[in-house]
């Protein structure tokens, strides 16, 4: 084969093998992402016929938008508490399920079930639970805080969001932690027991340090998904009461598609993207420091 | 010592089953209350239903009002075709990227991997703006094309990692025997990908089947609605009559649970593999 026909053959194969992927990826992700950066410098709106360049004024508008930052901080809090509680419960479940216990497969499948269901349906299920079931339990027990629905209380509605998030992801993270537990070499465990490390001591000085990779993955999953939470937010609280649970993703949606401010909405989205990337990456780097070899 | 151990073990069982009951409680409550009237549910959500009274009335009502058959058909078509396209195109692309270490291929791979951390919110507004102006909205085929694009990064990343470890020899001898690149991919490499194909399949099915935001932006007319969209519109339209709403929830969950029951092992394994890589 001469070199010219080889080159043609290579180009032909490139088009066949990578072409479809590349076209779809570019059309729906790459081009919109670049175009999105351009949008942030315009006052484009779908309800106006013309638009012009406005420089950095969209970013200025975002930085002076008090409401956006309040909701931004709320989102950070939501992500923080969700990450902590999801991981603590998932780790506990994985610990219990990897110890000598019967019907492990059944239990594992049970705890995992909430993950199969989308945010919209989960949100509606829990809306009933918070509004009609917890209030009944509160009445029966005479326990004041439960008598009114969490969803109508500006401080507690966000707690409701966190509870549902934990319920949804704990089973998911649990199976990743189980894989981590199972991955700890048998020799290391036996050696540590011979050296007298049992129970809690073994957990702290052997198990946890060896499971750092699992922690990195699990933290990453909740952080990145937590920031993007929209479906659950929409179905469970729809940002209510008084906008107290409107998380960043919902704010961006409403700015763009309800207020028709595409430029400002996209500027918020870019700031949001940068935050997610910084938080997620620094979490990975920070946790990696604790990594040890077995 | 032994007694202490037994007490500890007993406590462990009690704890884990209490947690399991708490985890399953929402599902249980949805099921029992979907067989009651709204009034019975409001009075006591824990009472068991008297079957002869309501029967499947709520289900029939939910089934019709949600246009359930139409929605589940749309969801099935969109999920299946999107996932098959992702599996096919991403595995071919990953194969080519692994086997040809050209500079452009390295750049493409790095871009794809980096794209995985872009949140959908950063794409959503320009996406709607571009496709809206080109008048391409409101079609399930455009939605499928979008899923195909959004699915590439993760799928290619997973396939790439797997294909790297497949030895070259078999393909080389096939090429010498006169096979084309495509033939050798489909006859030799593709069958070896089975375990990773299952992983990507499961994760992408769960993602696309349950996705709400993207279809809500693309599919505007009621006839195109997927299950999450029709659940949402059902709840916002009939928000006062709770009982049929709960029947609607159970209806949307049942197909997923049936699939889960039969492929539970693969699903959990797939999720673990997808997360670890």
Contact B152, B193 (CB under 8 A): no
Share of chain A above pLDDT 90, in %: 28
User: Is residue A294's pLDDT more than 70?
Assistant: no
Provide, as residue numbers in chain B, all residues whose Cβ is less than 8 Å from the Cβ of A133.
29, 45-46
Q: Are residues B122 and B182 in the same domain?
A: yes
In a domain, B263, yes or no: no
In a domain, B269, yes or no: no
Q: Name residue, tokens 């025997």.
A: B177
Q: Do A270 and B122 touch (CB under 8 A)?
A: yes
Number of Cβ within a 10 Å radius of residue A151: 21
Taking chain B (277 residues) in runs of 10, the rounded mean pLDDT of each run is 74 89 91 83 79 77 88 94 96 92 91 89 92 88 95 93 86 80 87 90 91 92 90 86 87 89 82 76
Hey, of B119, B225, B261, which one would you mutate to test binding to chain A, going by the most A CBs within 10 A of its CB? B119
Among A37, A75, A19, A124, which Cα is nearest to B123's?
A37
Helix (H, G, I), strand (E, B) or coil at A53: strand
Among B81, B78, B85, B79, which Cα is nearest to B224's?
B78
Provide, as residue numbers in chain A, all residues whose Cβ is less than 8 Å from the Cβ of B118.
29, 33, 273
Q: Are residues B209 and B116 in the same domain?
A: yes
pLDDT of res. B208: 94
Q: How far, in Å, CA of B85 to CA of A20, rounded?
A: 9
In a domain, A154, yes or no: yes
Q: Do A25 and B29 touch (CB under 8 A)?
A: no
Q: A198: left (phi > 0), else alpha (psi -120 to 50), else beta? A: beta
Q: Are residues B82 and B49 in the same domain?
A: no
In a domain, B120, yes or no: yes
* More confident position, A100 or B242: B242
Q: How far, in Å, CA of B267 to CA of B260, rounded?
A: 7
In a domain, B161, yes or no: yes
Which domain CATH number covers A263? 1.10.3720.10
Sign of the four-CA dihedral A246, A252, A253, A257: positive
Q: Does this model's pTM top 0.80?
A: yes
| B10 class by beta-carbon count within 10 Å (0-12 exposed, 13-18 middle, 19+ buried) | exposed
Q: Are residues B134 and B225 in the same domain?
A: yes
Counting one residue from chain A and one from chain B, the pairs whose CB atoms sit within 8 A come to 239
Q: Are residues B37 and B87 in the same domain?
A: no
Which domain CATH number covers B211? 1.10.3720.10
Domain tally, chain A: 1
Gap from B94 CA to chain A (nearest CA, Å): 8
Q: Are residues B178 and B233 in the same domain?
A: yes
Name, in order, each residue with C-beta under 8 angstroms of B192's C-beta and a sequence gap of 6 or more.
B166
In a domain, A207, yes or no: yes
* Touching A: B residues 83-122, CB under 8 Å: 85, 89-90, 92-93, 95-97, 100, 105, 108, 111-112, 115, 117-122
Q: How far, in Å, CA of B3 to CA of B144, rounded?
A: 60
Q: How far, in Å, CA of B274 to CA of B202, rounded?
A: 9
Q: Do A35 and B92 touch (CB under 8 A)?
A: no
B159 touches chain A (CB under 8 A): no
CA gyration radius for chain A?
A: 25
Number of Cβ within a 10 Å radius of residue B132: 14
User: Is residue A96's pLDDT more than 80?
Assistant: yes
In a domain, A267, yes or no: yes
pLDDT of res. B144: 96
Provide, as residue numbers in chain A, all residues whose Cβ is less than 8 Å from the Cβ of B46.
133, 136
Return the DSSP state at B233.
Answer: H
In a domain, B243, yes or no: no
- Domain, as residue range, for B222: 66-237
Provide, as residue numbers in chain A, all residues whose Cβ is less than 8 Å from the Cβ of B122.
33, 36, 269-270, 272-273
Gap from B93 CA to chain A (nearest CA, Å): 4
Q: Are residues B83 and B201 in the same domain?
A: yes
In a domain, A180, yes or no: yes
Provide, as residue numbers in chain B, all residues whose Cβ is less than 8 Å from the Cβ of A183.
none
Q: Are residues B162 and B229 in the same domain?
A: yes
User: Is residue A1's pLDDT more than 60?
Assistant: no
Q: How far, in Å, CA of B64 to CA of B66, rounded?
A: 6
User: Is residue A205's pLDDT more than 80?
Assistant: no
In a domain, B253, yes or no: no
Q: Do B23 and A171 touch (CB under 8 A)?
A: yes
Distance from the Cα of residue B197 to its chain's centroid: 14
pLDDT of res. B7: 81
pLDDT of res. A293: 64
Buried b (16+ CB within 10 A) or exposed e, B228-257: bbbbbbbbeebeeebbbbbbbbbbbbeebe
Q: Do A129 and B26 touch (CB under 8 A)?
A: yes
Q: Are residues B98 and B10 in the same domain?
A: no
Q: How far, in Å, CA of A138 to CA of A146, rounded?
A: 4
* More confident position, A49 or B261: B261
Helix (H, G, I), strand (E, B) or coil at B109: helix
| A250 class by beta-carbon count within 10 Å (0-12 exposed, 13-18 middle, 19+ buried) | buried
Domain tally, chain B: 2
Nearest chain A residue to B266 by CA distance is: A109
Name, in order, each residue with C-beta under 8 angstroms of B66's C-beta and a sequence gap of 6 or more.
B230, B231, B234, B248, B251
pLDDT of res. B59: 87
* pLDDT tens digits, one per residue of A151-190: 888 888 899 999 999 999 999 999 999 988 888 887 777 7
Q: Do A101 and B13 touch (CB under 8 A)?
A: yes
Q: Are residues B45 and B72 in the same domain?
A: no
Q: Do A121 and B132 touch (CB under 8 A)?
A: no
* pLDDT tens digits, one per residue of A50-86: 777 887 888 888 888 888 898 899 999 999 999 999 9
Provide, as residue numbers in chain A, all residues whose Cβ is less than 8 Å from the Cβ of B242.
128, 132
Q: Name residue, tokens 């969801």.
A: B75
Q: Do A28 and B111 touch (CB under 8 A)?
A: no
Contact A46, A260 (CB under 8 A): yes
Q: Are residues B112 and B131 in the same domain?
A: yes
User: Is residue A237's pLDDT more than 60?
Assistant: yes
Nearest chain A residue to B90 by CA distance is: A21
Q: Are residues B52 and B78 in the same domain?
A: no
Hey, of A19, A24, A44, which one would you mutate to test binding to chain B, going by the most B CBs within 10 A of its CB? A24
Provide, as residue numbers in chain A, all residues whose Cβ is less than 8 Å from the Cβ of B146.
28
Helix (H, G, I), strand (E, B) or coil at B276: helix
In a domain, B43, yes or no: yes
pLDDT band at A91 (very low <50, low <70, confident <90, very high): very high
B276 touches chain A (CB under 8 A): yes
Nearest chain A residue to B209 by CA distance is: A118
- Domain, as residue range, for A130: 59-288
Q: How far, in Å, CA of B90 to CA of B159, rounded?
A: 8
In a domain, A2, yes or no: no
B245 touches chain A (CB under 8 A): yes
Helix axes A212-228, A248-257, angle to 10 degrees: 30
Structure tokens at A265: 């909405």
In a domain, B26, yes or no: yes
ipTM: 0.87
């Amino acid at each position: 084969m001469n070199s010219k026909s080889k080159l043609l053959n290579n180009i032909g194969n490139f088009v066949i093998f990578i072409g479809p992927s590349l076209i779809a990826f570019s059309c729906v992700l790459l081009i919109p992402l670049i175009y999105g950066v351009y949008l942030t410098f315009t006052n484009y709106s779908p309800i106006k016929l013309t638009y012009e360049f406005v420089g950095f004024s969209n970013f200025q508008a975002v930085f002076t938008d008090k409401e956006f930052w309040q909701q931004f901080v709320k989102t950070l809090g939501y992500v923080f508490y969700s990450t902590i509680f999801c991981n603590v419960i998932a780790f506990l479940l994985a610990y219990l399920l990897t110890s000598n216990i019967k019907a492990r497969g059944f239990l594992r499948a049970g705890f995992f079930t909430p993950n199969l269901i989308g945010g919209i349906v989960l949100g509606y299920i829990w809306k009933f639970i918070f509004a009609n079931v917890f209030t009944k339990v509160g009445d029966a027990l005479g326990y004041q805080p439960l008598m009114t629905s969490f969803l109508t209380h500006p401080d507690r509605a966000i707690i409701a969001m966190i509870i549902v998030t934990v319920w949804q992801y704990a089973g998911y993270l649990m199976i990743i932690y189980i894989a981590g537990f199972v991955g700890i070499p048998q020799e290391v465990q036996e050696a540590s027991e011979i050296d007298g490390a049992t129970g809690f001591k073994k957990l702290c000085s052997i198990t946890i340090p060896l499971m750092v990779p699992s922690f990195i993955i699990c933290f990453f999953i909740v952080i990145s998904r937590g920031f993007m939470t929209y479906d659950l937010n929409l179905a469970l609280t729809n940002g209510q009461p008084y906008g107290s649970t409107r998380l960043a993703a919902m704010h961006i949606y409403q700015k763009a598609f309800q207020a028709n401010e595409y430029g400002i909405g996209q500027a918020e989205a870019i700031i949001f993207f940068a935050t997610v990337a910084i938080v997620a990456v620094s979490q990975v780097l920070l946790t990696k420091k604790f990594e040890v070899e077995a | 010592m032994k007694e202490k151990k037994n007490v500890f073990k007993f406590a462990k069982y009690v704890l884990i089953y209490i947690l399991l009951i708490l985890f399953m409680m929402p599902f249980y409550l949805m099921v029992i209350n979907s067989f009651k009237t709204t009034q019975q549910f409001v009075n006591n959500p824990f009472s068991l239903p008297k079957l002869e009274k309501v029967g499947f009335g709520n289900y029939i009502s939910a089934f019709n009002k949600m246009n359930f058959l139409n929605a589940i058909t749309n969801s099935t078509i969109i999920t299946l075709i999107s996932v098959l396209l992702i599996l096919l195109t991403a595995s071919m692309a990953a194969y080519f990227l692994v086997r040809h270490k050209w500079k452009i291929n390295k750049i493409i791979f790095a871009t794809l991997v980096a794209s995985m951390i872009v949140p959908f919110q950063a794409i959503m507004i320009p996406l709607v703006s571009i496709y809206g102006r080109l008048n391409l909205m409101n079609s399930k085929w455009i939605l499928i094309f979008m899923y195909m694009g959004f699915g590439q990064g993760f799928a290619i990343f997973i396939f790439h990692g797997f294909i790297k470890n497949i030895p070259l020899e078999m393909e080389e001898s096939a090429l010498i025997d006169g096979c084309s690149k495509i033939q050798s991919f489909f006859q030799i490499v593709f069958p070896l990908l089975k375990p990773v194909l299952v992983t990507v399949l499961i994760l992408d099915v769960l993602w696309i089947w349950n996705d709400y935001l993207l279809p809500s932006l693309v599919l505007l007319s009621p006839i195109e609605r997927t299950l999450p969209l029709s659940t949402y519109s059902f709840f916002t339209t009939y928000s006062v009559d709770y009982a049929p709403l709960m029947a609607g929830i159970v209806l949307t969950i049942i197909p997923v649970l049936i699939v889960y029951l039969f492929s539970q092992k693969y699903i959990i394994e797939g999720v673990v593999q997808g997360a670890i890589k």
